[in-house]
Amino acid sequence: MADIIQLLPDHVANQIAAGEVVQRPASVVKELLENSIDAGAYSIKLIIKDAGKTLIQVIDNGKGMSATDARLSFERHATSKIRSAEDLFSLNTKGFRGEALASIAAIAHVELKTKQDQDELGTVIEIEGSEIKNQEVTVTPTGTSLCVKHLFFNIPARRNFLKSNNVELRHIVDEFHRVALAHPDIEFLMYHNGSESFNLPKSNYRQRVVNIFGNKTNEKLVPVVEETEVLKISGFVGKPEFAKRTRTEQFFFVNNRFIKSPYLNHAINSAFEGLMKDGSHPSYFLNLTVDPKSIDINIHPTKTEIKFDDEHTLYAILRAAVKHSLGQFNIAPVLDFDR
Ligand code: ADP
Ligand code: MG
């Protein structure tokens, strides 16, 4: 009898994982922006060329990495964010799988420049398809710059599957919006093909929504505030008469993480019942805060779905809170920027 099972080499395992983590340029954008936030950055710049097909670069002023960590960050399951399985139940970082950089470096040309505040000099590392091409000491500001070129250079099927620049850019902008909305206290800049697409200064939540979706948004925002033992809600819904034909202004954040939840979306729709025309969708920008122990965000690698312990209770609280706000909206202060 012959033994035929082998452990896959790392670069193959990385490429397989990349299939899950990196679907398109926007997935890279999401992972890099989240890493910058986890690094404590308060200013984050996203630079894109050709909808990310030619270049995706994220520059932050976060805490940077040591030379050793810079090298380790590209290993699979290498993370500074959790140490044990218990940590999974009290996550307060975006990342924890230690998969993103290893995956991205398996399917692109990556250049990392990073420096910690206390160090005079930083580190530059170049990796192509999991292979380290260069690592040396360099002059670079405190923080991290990650530059991703030639995405999917070694996976022609993925490259060919990419959509038009318009469509890929749309996906990138969607990710950028989600991250920027979740963190109004961080400055975000975005450039596409050399021109500025977004310049979002540090602000409060209402201002951030308005800076992204335009000044006209301001008058339609109705604050939603609720605090119970299991759920804290803050944010805004759009007045019913401003409901849209598309779902482009529907955002749930749970503990500062964008999530998709058809079930909670239903709670909002039901709060708007009778107030809107059929086929239109209410705008909402809602932050839900729950005990991290009561959710499981580990069910999907891209982490846009989570599992709640007690969905029914959340549904009821959310629906009631939105209904209450809508009942009061004609007396809500429309131009109050301090909320
Ligand atoms: P995860 O975010 O799940 O830990 P990643 O592969 O995204 O996994 O990153 C691996 C590690 O590299 C992180 O845990 C962090 O220590 C480090 N790292 C990545 N990006 C940055 C950054 N912008 N600034 C500082 N450290 C970073
Ligand atoms: Mg990460």
Q: Domain limits of the chain?
A: 10-200, 216-331
98 lines ligand 1 (CB under 6 A): yes
> Ligand 2 centroid vs 31 CA: distance in angstroms?
5
Give the tens place of pLDDT for each residue, 10-42: 888 888 877 778 999 999 999 999 999 999 999
Q: What is the DSSP letter of 9?
A: P
Contact 300, 291 (CB under 8 A): no
Q: What spacing in Å lies between the alpha carbon of 139 and ligand 2's midpoint?
A: 24
Evaluate if residue 220 carries a pLDDT over 60: yes
For the Cβ of 115 lying below 6 angstroms from any atom of ligand 1, the answer is: no
Q: CA torsion angle for 84, 89, 95, 100 (degrees, to 10)?
A: 60
- Round to whole Å and give the CA distance between 117 and 59: 15
Nearest CA to ligand 1 atom 16: 80
Domain 216-331 has CATH 3.40.50.300: no
Supply the pLDDT for residue 336: 45
| Average of per-residue pLDDT across 264-285 | 92
C-alpha span between 321 and 228 (Å, rounded): 11
Q: CATH top-level class for 10-200?
A: alpha beta
* Probe target for ligand 1 pocket from 33, 61, 79, with the most ligand atoms within 8 Å of CB: 79
Q: Which atom of ligand 1 is nearest to the CA of 103?
A: 6
Mean pLDDT across 118-138: 97
In the 3-class helix/strand/coil scheme, how is 121-139 assigned residue by residue?
Answer: CEEEEEEECCEEEEEEEEC
pLDDT digits (tens, 9 = 90+) for 285-336: 999 999 988 888 766 666 677 888 889 999 999 999 999 999 876 544 444 4
> How do residues 115-126 score in pLDDT, each as one tens digit?
999 999 999 999
- Tell me the mean pLDDT in the region 177-200: 97
Lowest mean per-residue pLDDT among 83-97, 133-147, 283-297: 83-97
Ligand 1 close to Cβ of residue 57 (< 6 A): no
pTM over 0.95: no
Pocket probe for ligand 1: among 30, 36, 73, the residue whose CB has the most ligand atoms within 8 Å is 73
Q: Once rounded to an integer, what is the mean pLDDT over residues 230-236? A: 96
Contact indicator for 219, 202 with CB cutoff of 8 Å: no
Ligand nearest to the CA of 63: 1
From the CA of 82, give the closest atom in ligand 1.
4
Residues bordering ligand 2, an ion, CB closer than 5 Å: 35, 95, 100
- Rounded to whole angstroms, what are the CA distances from 154 to 9, 107, 158, 160? 16, 6, 9, 11
* Predicted local distance difference test score (pLDDT) of residue 176: 98
What HEC string does 24-37 produce? CHHHHHHHHHHHHH
Task: Tell me if 101 CB under 6 Å of ligand 1.
Answer: yes
